[in-house]
Amino acid sequence: MTTLTESKLDPSDAVLDRVVDSGDHWLHPLAVGQHLRIVDLEGNQAVDTFFLDAEDPGDRYSAEVTVRSQGNLYLTTGSVLRSVRGNAMATIVADTCGRHDTVGGACAAESNQVRYAIEKRPMHSCRDSFLLALSRFGGDLSKRDIGANVNFFMNVPVTSEGALTFADGISGSGKYVEIRAERDILVLVSNCPQLNNPCNGWNPTPVRMLVWDPRRTSGARRPPED
């Protein structure tokens, strides 16, 4: 079910406002109650996103638990992103796109070879971006901490036979998704560089990240209990 919902938060009140270029990565801590808005600036861009508990990174986002809990493959307003232990990590509180993928995963050098051609291996990929972001963040985080991710704005229809298809995006210029952190989390983003399928309209473009802090922004609600 698609639920389009506008946010009441004003970009001028954001405590962080940053543009992430196409193919680039972004890793940022989000405190409980803070809001993150991801804006598809030019439209038809996929934003691969992963979440880890800031205090216990082993309790990371789980596509399986999230899908099972909500009984729907796709995400939209009201969807709760859950961890491998079933904890609420974040809730989608606003969405002007209407549907986001949970099963397409992140492109990688290996999958680019299998899906497209052997010579595609050197091409930049979301998994490489994830690993680069973790290496620059420091600490003990590594590839073992990455699992199946959310693909915001990405269109991955599932056929009646259960097959996945990568289709042209359903987002547009200026559309956004906004989440509220339900605990202290790390948000790991790869602004997808994929050129071999239509998930980015064959032309990867920048996205905008805005963060609001409820202690400095009126109207932000307290997070619910699990």
- Give per-residue pLDDT as tens, 48-59: 999 999 999 999
Look-up: residue for tokens 């991710």? 149
Read off the tokens for 6. 């506008």
Task: Label each residue of the chain as H, E or C.
Answer: CCCCECCCCCHHHCCEEEEECCCCEEEEEECCCCEEEEEECCCCCCEEEEEEECCCCCCEECHHHHHHHHCCCCECCCCEEEECCCCEEEEEEEECCCCEECCCCCCCHHHHHHHCCHHHCCCCCHHHHHHHHHHHHCCCCCHHHCCCCEEECCCCCECCCCCECCCCCCCCCCEEEEEEECCCEEEEEEECCCCCCHHHCCCCCCEEEEEECCCCCCCCCCCCCC
Pair 210, 11: CB distance under 8 Å: yes
* Section 155-184 average pLDDT: 86
Higher-pLDDT residue of 14 and 155 is 14
Residues of the chain above pLDDT 70, percent: 85
Q: How far apart are CA 19 and CA 17, in angstroms?
A: 7
What confidence category does residue 68 fall into, taking pLDDT thresholds of 50, 70 and 90? very high
For β-strands 47-53 and 88-95, DSSP reports them as unpaired
- pLDDT value of residue 1: 57
Whether pLDDT at 21 is above 90:
yes
Query: What integer best gives the mean pLDDT of the chain?
Result: 87
* Section 86-115 average pLDDT: 84
- pLDDT value of residue 224: 45
What confidence category does residue 10 fall into, taking pLDDT thresholds of 50, 70 and 90? very high
- pLDDT value of residue 106: 82
| Whole-structure pTM value | 0.88
* Section 77-90 average pLDDT: 98
- Give per-residue pLDDT as tens, 198-215: 667 788 999 999 999 988
- pLDDT value of residue 137: 86
